[in-house]
A = this chain, B = another copy of it.
Amino acid sequence: MTSTVAIIGAGVIGAGWAARFLLNGWDVRVFDPDPSARDRVEKVLAAARLSLPGLGEVALPPEGRLSFPRLISEAVRGAGWVQESVPERIELKHKIIQAVQSCIEEGAILASSTSGFTATELQSNSSRPDQILVAHPFNPVYLLPLVEVVASDRTDPDLRDRAVMTLTDLGMAPLQVRAEVPAHIADRLLEAVWREALWLVKDGVATTGEIDDAIRMGFGLRWAQMGLFETYRIAGGDGGMAHFLHQFGPALKWPWSKLTDVPEMDDTLVATIAAQSDEQAGGRTIADLERQRDHNLVGLIRALGAQGWGAGAIQQAADERRMSGAGVPARFEDITDPATPVVTLHRAVPLDWIDYNGHMTEDRYLHAFGDASDRLMKLIGCDLDYVAAGKSFFTVESHIRHLKEVTAGAPLRIETRVIAAGGKKMHVWHEMKSGDRLLATAEHMLLHVDLETRRSAPLTPLLAERLATLVDAQAELDPPEGLSRAIGDPI
């Protein structure tokens, strides 16, 4: 059975809601009198189609149907959910709510994306306040899980529970806000940072870029995985949260920020926070939390590294500087002896390459071998400029033997031979070692391709010449043990 949602107001938030519902199999009706709304929804939807379906490890249901009815009544009639995301003016919201409620069924959920108004404020003047609540999401709505759910005591509790279930089914993390306060929870915290940040800019202490770096190179990374309190719990060490509070409580009395209204850190508040923090930790020790934090941070920074962004870009720049010290040739001229295998990778096993068996997982062997192939490509002249100019290599066939296990932090080194090359092909052989231990071998056939036609294309003269240099020089070596194996061959 397909469910139907009506999206009222298709700004960036409404369009984001439309995308999340649609990609989760809902039929979506968008109502927005703005003639540019349709374009905006299509644009957001295109971005969401690239990013949301692959966010998890399991396919989403087939997309629902998207329509743009001309009348609000057409949009909301029969819909099980109505999501209002119009501008933050209470009189406008009341008008919309009235129009919606004149057409929708009793059990339908009428949720508002408002950040500034409470459920009670939305409900005033409504004859059916029981179906109204706040479901405040965060941009981009199709990716970020947080949605603050605020009900008043006039909201039907069963309807609120159904709303929470539906949001959960959409892959979100509904946070039920206990009390109706202006701006709910997250935006109050954001507002506090925003004010302090404005003072820093106004006073010339820092630029917007510097403030953003102060966030994303430090506590922003922490906050992607643990919040303020759990982070401080760890900082308190084995003394726990109460210890942290007794140690840092006084900082509140210092004139550190311009924001001077400070709660009294009395015994009651310390006890409340310590008890809530204990419950939150769910029996995990500080050592458990530290280990988890490190795993998380490594995963986060490495994910940014793959994007060349933020903290990941910092790491990449450090890597560049370390290349020569690591004994990996950066240019073809750096290959001192073409008759011996070329070192194409020298790194350590990242924490996020370890699987449930406690060792480097199988696809990360190929990840490292793929990086080694990329390095070989760069050495012979197929670098990012070459790729940008329209040609590259694609791997068409791989054979990997996993010979030994390896664990986090251990060194990895790959030595590479070119078995044959010519025409449109390159046949390579990699050996991966950790110290003296041979961990794995990989044999690859790569095809030189034209990125325009996505078809194979002859090697350019420079590439052919450099590959021939390596093939000829290495032909003197014994053929590697395991070359041309098929699975099932006797060992």
Contact = CB atoms under 8 A, between A and B. Distances in A.
Interface string A467-486: 00000000000000000111
Contacts of A186: 214-215, 218-219
Interface in A180-226: 181-183, 185-226
Interface residues of A, number: 187
Contact of A252 (B54, B195, B229): B195
B58 A145 contact: no
B182 A255 contact: yes
A490 interface: no
A198 to B, nearest CB: 5
Nearest to A213: B175
Query: Copy number in this complex?
Result: 2
B220 A280 contact: no
A126 interface: no
A237 interface: yes
Given A198-B263, A227-B212, A257-B192, A307 B299 contact: yes
Given A370-B363, A399-B399, A173 B217 contact: yes
A169 B225 contact: no
A1 interface: no
Given A201-B276, A214-B148, A228-B215, A357 B387 contact: yes
Interface stretch (A73-81, A102-110, A346-354): A346-354
A7 B3 CA distance: 62
A224 B216 contact: yes
Contact of A276 (B195, B208, B387, B427): B208
A206 B228 contact: no
A99 to B, nearest CB: 24
Contact of A409 (B50, B169, B194, B317): B50
A484 B487 contact: yes
A106 to B, nearest CB: 28
Interface string A156-183: 0000000000001101110101110111
A424 interface: no
A294 B218 contact: no
Given A219-B186, A304-B300, A229 B200 contact: no
A220 B212 contact: no
Given A185-B211, A214-B227, A224-B224, A305 B56 contact: yes
A263 B202 contact: yes
Contacts of A265: 198
A259 interface: yes
Interface in A121-172: 138-140, 143-146, 148, 168-169, 171-172
Contact of A347 (B56, B198, B226, B299): B56
Given A56-B318, A145-B315, A138 B183 contact: no
B218 A301 contact: no
A444 interface: yes
Interface string A371-412: 100000000000010010000101111111111010011010
B347 A54 contact: yes
A207 B277 CA distance: 8
6 contacts: A55-B350, A179-B204, A192-B195, A208-B230, A223-B223, A396-B401
